[in-house]
Amino acid sequence: MKVFTAAQIRQCDASTIQHEPVGEVDLMERAATACADWISARFTGNEKFCIFCGNGNNGGDGFALARILADRCRNVIVFGDFAADLSDSASHHLKRLKAVEGVAFLDIKEAETFQFSETSVIIDALLGTGLNRKIEGWLATVIEKLNAAQVPKISVDIPSGLLADQLVSHSAVIFKADYTLTFQFWRRSFLHFESGKFCGEVHLLDIGLSAEFINKEKTPYFTIDEDLIQKIYRKRDDFSHKGTFGKTLIAAGSFGKMGAAVLATKAALKTGSGLTVTLAPTCGYEILQISCPEAMFVSGGKTELTEFFVEENAAAGIGPGLGTSEKTVAAFLSFLKTYEKPLVIDADALNIIAENPEYLKAVPKDSIITPHPKEFQRLFGETANSFERLELARQKACELAIYIVLKDHHTQVVTPEMKVYYNTTGNSGMAKGGSGDALLGVITSLLAQDYSPRDAALFGVWLHGAAGDLAAEKFSKEAMLPGDLINELGNVFKYLSKKIPFNK
């Protein structure tokens, strides 16, 4: 799915209005109806909906939503600055709302003293994406009061105070939603940790915006959704054999860190690798043969890897638990000088390169590196925030002709063409040592199965996150382990092969 800027979304709205044709007030009605349908399905009791409406079109969404909920016999209180000038569409929907019986209207400043009950639900339709200033004064006080209320909170389109395409200052006042009901598209700010934390659960509501505009409009930003994954995923042919699905080599482990090699190997096996080989020090022989009997073991040293070699027909993933001993560093850098096929590189292999930055240019073209933010910083330098880090990743992916999988809450896959794909699967239960090792195994296995580096990265990141979501559902985010994630990979493949939608 394409991720558009706020300006592009306004253009999409305008194109829909022009070519459907449909009026702005009617498009607003669609948006409000979609919100009302979601809210009605989610809240089925005697809730009191306290809807806070601004003066612009976001306020118009709120007025229309209030009317629809009231028509459905729901208890509605509308807070607004009714003496202020409203946009034409907001004025239209307020007029229609005032014709409905049973709706209470309160001046928005009364929120400062209003006592929310345990049945209250706060709905934010104050500012929308048109914000171009810092929230101050009485409105800031109101939002802070709303944030302090211990009741469910919903934002319509975007949490008030948040910008769609960039970060706001650390001191900015922003509505903190439990749910954000947005229309048709993700906003980039929803996908970065500094701003996404204000959105809660994001739900995309289809309001029938112009398909022609969406198809033609260009953007370098996308989300990895199931439609994309179904296009990438190749169901197994029944008339195939182990050689059909490639050979995966995992170069990993050192004394005391063999668990990383085990997790990467198991993940490669569970992702469908035809043949899997683990290149590890001899000290891990028994551990790997017992833990992963389906994989072959090749020794590359005694207690650490001092030799790196990859068969011609294998795809290699290197890094988990390697350590950074002098002999391992020398052997890996020597290997990197001469190896020319795409690699998957993570963990200590990235740390070795970071300490020897002249070797960045030795990373083979079309390789996939999978740094977390600290590893990325060691490789490429410090940035002020995740937006700047992503732009630096775009530059480096292009400059080095590699794919960068920048691990985060919404992991970003950055291509050599400077395109960015935000992943929308995964959860905080995966924030445990070993999850990254599993990701390396997944991506390397897909590369071995002849998925392109781009598709291996996109599919691997989505698959890894989807398995993590199933593991969290089964064991909880707190208790789930990377091994649980690996064991759920099969269930994700079941969804894909049967084309049953995966619901996070």
- Long-range (24+ apart) CB contacts under 8 A made by 338-342 are 339/310, 339/364, 340/364, 341/310, 341/315, 341/316, 342/315, 342/366, 342/367, 342/368, 342/447, 342/453
pLDDT of amino acid 238: 82
Residues in the chain: 504
Of 26, 157, 159, nearest in space to 93 by CA: 26
Q: Is 195 helix (H, G, I), strand (E, B) or coil?
A: helix
Asked whether the bond before 152 is cis by omega within 30 degrees of 0, the reply is: no
**Strand order of the sheet with strand 221-224?**
221-224, 420-423, 412-414, 403-406, 368-369, 343-345, 314-318, 247-251, 275-280, 296-299
- Residue type present at position 452: S
Helix axis angle for 435-448 and 258-270, nearest 10°, is 40
Please report, in tens digits, the pLDDT of each residue of the chain (504 residues total). Answer: 999 999 999 999 999 999 988 999 999 999 999 999 999 999 999 999 999 999 999 999 999 999 999 999 999 999 999 988 999 999 999 999 999 999 999 999 999 899 999 999 999 999 988 776 789 899 999 999 999 999 999 999 999 999 999 998 888 999 999 999 999 999 999 999 999 999 999 999 999 999 999 999 999 999 999 999 999 999 888 877 777 789 999 999 999 999 999 999 999 999 999 999 999 999 999 999 999 999 999 999 999 999 999 998 999 999 999 999 999 999 999 999 999 999 999 999 999 999 999 999 999 999 999 999 999 999 999 999 999 999 999 999 999 999 999 999 999 999 999 999 999 999 999 999 999 999 999 999 999 999 999 999 999 999 999 999 999 999 999 999 999 999 999 999 999 988 666 665
pLDDT of amino acid 21: 85
Contacts of 84 (CB under 8 A, 6+ apart): 55
pLDDT of amino acid 130: 72
Report the relative pairing of strands 403-406 and 412-414 from DSSP bridges. Answer: antiparallel
Q: Which residues, listed in sequence order, are joined to residue 413 by a DSSP beta bridge?
A: 405, 421
416, 403 contact by CB (below 8 A): yes
pLDDT of amino acid 499: 61
pLDDT of amino acid 244: 79
- Residue type present at position 400: L
**C-alpha separations of 94 from 69, 122, 349 in Å:** 14, 19, 61
Q: Report how far Cα 222 is from the mean position of its chain's Cα atoms.
A: 10
pLDDT of amino acid 504: 53
182, 158 contact by CB (below 8 A): yes
Question: Which secondary-structure segment (H or E) carries 276?
Answer: strand 275-280
pLDDT of amino acid 236: 86
- Residue type present at position 393: A
Q: Report how far Cα 317 is from the mean position of its chain's Cα atoms.
A: 23
Q: Is 76 helix (H, G, I), strand (E, B) or coil?
A: strand
Q: How far apart are alpha carbons 81 and 332 in whole angstroms?
A: 66
Q: How many other β-carbons are positioned within 10 Å of the β-carbon of residue 388?
A: 12
Burial class (CB in 10 A: 0-12, 13-18, 19+), 2: middle
257, 321 contact by CB (below 8 A): yes
What CATH topology corresponds to 6-219? Rossmann fold (3.40.50)
- What is the domain partition of the chain in residue ranges? 6-219, 229-497
What CATH topology corresponds to 229-497? UDP-N-acetylmuramoyl-L-alanine:D-glutamate ligase (3.40.1190)
